Chains A and B, each alone.
Chain A
Amino acid sequence: MSMPSQDDELRRKNIRLALILGGLALFFLLTSFPFWMNLFTVAGDLSR
């Protein structure tokens, strides 16, 4: 088995970080629905 080259390693590192950041964006997208709905409800209750 050959050793991975420095380029391969950098490539993997880049893709790994890109996936993490993509996951972060997806997390923000998906949580935006319940998060905002609930925050809104709480704010509404407080102001009543």
Chain B
Amino acid sequence: MTTTTMSHDEAHHHGAPTGWRRWLYSTNHKDIGTLYLLFALTMLFLGGASAMLIRAELFQPGIQLIDPDLYNNLVTNHALLMIFGAVMPAAAGLANWMIPLMIGAPDMALPRMNNLSFWILPAAATMLILSFVVPFFPGGGTQINTGWTIYPPLSVQVGMSMDFLIFAIHLLGISSILASINIIVTLLNMRAPGMTLMKMPMFCWTWLVTAFLLILVVPVLAGGVTMLLFDRHFGTSFFDAAGGGDPVLFQHLFWFFGHPEVYILLLPSIGVLSHVIPTFARKPLFGYRSMVGAMLAVATIGMVVWAHHQYTIGMSLGAVTYFMVGTILISIPVGLMVFNFIATMWRGAMTFETPMLFAIGIILMFTFGGLSGVMLAVVPADMQYHDSMFVVAHFHYVLMPGAVFGLFAGVFYWLPKWTGNMYNERLGKIFFWINVIGFNITFFPQHFLGLAGMPRRIIDYNVMFTEFNVMSSIGAMIFGLSHLLFLYIVIQTIRGGRSLKKSENKSWEGAKGLEWEVGSPPAFHTWETAPQIK
């Protein structure tokens, strides 16, 4: 893709507003992107704190620090904070920052709606956090002890914290759908002249598919939790066997959302990788068209294999066979993506800056998580692994590298663009190594724990599981604390100073795309005149 370029440091008619109004009333995609990222960072630390408390409790067999109900609360809030509070908003933050810059648009298509979709989030997060803390107050009811899957009948019996959670999910869903609509409209209507869909940067493609997935599956979750709310308060019995309903129906509704959610978390990071790897391998992305095709295949197949999370409910043989074959089929397009990334690196003039280290880490560890996913997809094997620590190890190997490391790669890759300062590369690399080693010490032993029979979501365990749990907990402390270094690097880069180099417009030698033609940091308004793509 070649472009006719023009200088775009042209925030001429007015600069950025100042004070709190700049953020509260913002319709600027860069400011809203920053808000999303700061929000996600806050939630990452809250969710991380609950994870570290869980691992501290599991350091030894027996009950040490917290009571079992609170432990279950922590398991629930860790997942919800990380998925809905940290990863999804962080990906939306990257989208807000980068999509208009990448497609040569002056802003998102619907800037006021963009403001609304962000500012719903703090309200939703408040409801979410309230659902964890109300049980501590007099009359607050029981702890929210269902896990993030909120299966009935337990979720019908939990106290008022479940109502807070249901409304939090509604609000989060509204925010996600508004953001998705905005992203789709921006990508379909606001691209620079000459930028056809097949010339669109891969990060934009991944977000186009992600946004469609969100629009298709989030309403189903909203429907499910609304039915749950009705069962709890209005005498319906959608999920109550005594009234003619069935609790398994909720599982179908939940996983119809929950499984595509994995791809929703994953795809934006695949988009980041599609920019990071070509930049640091100094080669164009191998197989652009096949990447797009693979992504569409993943999204399509991913929507129709949800019940592999529910093999043990007693489905018919035909049903489980279908879900097993469908699930295993997904490994083909995912394998294609991994192959394309490796082929992009093949004989490239590679350098190993922090974003590239994360990218390579993702390919290795995400592939490993994918392989244990194929193991879990096989019905007879899953009957053994189901609800064991093996599953916990598997999905952390998929989601930490697949989603979170991708977001870290994106932040390190674009931080010089956003701030105008190069981050401290040495610290970045130290962060990568501590983070990756901590991650593997935490989650690798959990495979063995699961295979040996340790169930997930329990506060106490048999003494035979002690050694691997000790290792896992030590790893978790290293892993968790390493994020303080990430925070330090980000703050240091934002503040700048003499110790850091200034970033050029094109922060990386091998980087390509419209976003590198605007200033670093970009002006408050960019691409007021659309570039021409040849």
Contact = CB atoms under 8 A, between A and B. Distances in A.
B110 A32 contact: no
Q: Is the interface of A mostly helix, strand, loop or mixed?
A: helix
A30 B217 CA distance: 12
Given A13-B189, A25-B218, A32 B319 contact: no
B227 to A, nearest CB: 7
A32 B315 CA distance: 21
B392 interface: no
Interface string A2-42: 00000000100111011001101110111011001101100
A46 interface: yes
Interface stretch (B86-94, B178-186, B443-451): B178-186
A21 to B, nearest CB: 5
B335 interface: no
B223 interface: yes
A21 B179 CA distance: 11
Contact of B253 (A24, A36, A44, A47): A36
Contact of A36 (B181, B218, B252, B316): B252
A21 B249 contact: no
A25 B249 contact: no
A43 to B, nearest CB: 7
B246 A40 contact: yes
B83 interface: no
B113 interface: yes
Contact of B249 (A13, A29, A37): A37
Contact of B215 (A21, A32, A46): A21
B224 interface: yes
Interface size on A, as a range, is 20 to 34
Contact of B219 (A10, A17, A32, A40): A32
Contacts of B316: 43, 46-47
Contacts of B184: 17, 21
Contacts, number: 73
Nearest to A33: B223
A21 B217 CA distance: 13
A33 B231 CA distance: 13
Given A17-B184, A40-B252, A47-B315, A32 B220 contact: yes
A39 B177 CA distance: 25
B326 to A, nearest CB: 16
B399 interface: no
B189 A32 contact: no
A25 B223 CA distance: 11
Contacts of A47: 315-316, 319
B109 interface: yes
B216 interface: yes
B222 interface: yes
A36 B223 CA distance: 10
Contact of B223 (A10, A24, A32): A32
Nearest to B186: A14
A17 B113 CA distance: 14
Given A14-B110, A32-B220, A40-B252, A21 B185 contact: yes
B458 interface: no
Nearest to A14: B109
Nearest to B214: A25
Interface of A: 10, 13-15, 17-18, 21-22, 24-26, 28-30, 32-33, 36-37, 39-40, 43-44, 46-47
28 contacts: A10-B189, A10-B190, A13-B189, A14-B110, A15-B110, A17-B185, A17-B189, A18-B110, A18-B113, A18-B181, A18-B182, A21-B184, A22-B181, A24-B216, A28-B216, A28-B220, A29-B222, A29-B223, A32-B253, A33-B227, A36-B249, A36-B252, A36-B256, A40-B248, A43-B315, A44-B246, A46-B316, A47-B315
5 A-B pairs with least C-beta separation: A32-B223, A29-B219, A28-B219, A14-B109, A47-B316
Given A18-B109, A43-B315, 6 more contacts: A14-B110, A17-B188, A18-B110, A21-B181, A25-B218, A36-B223
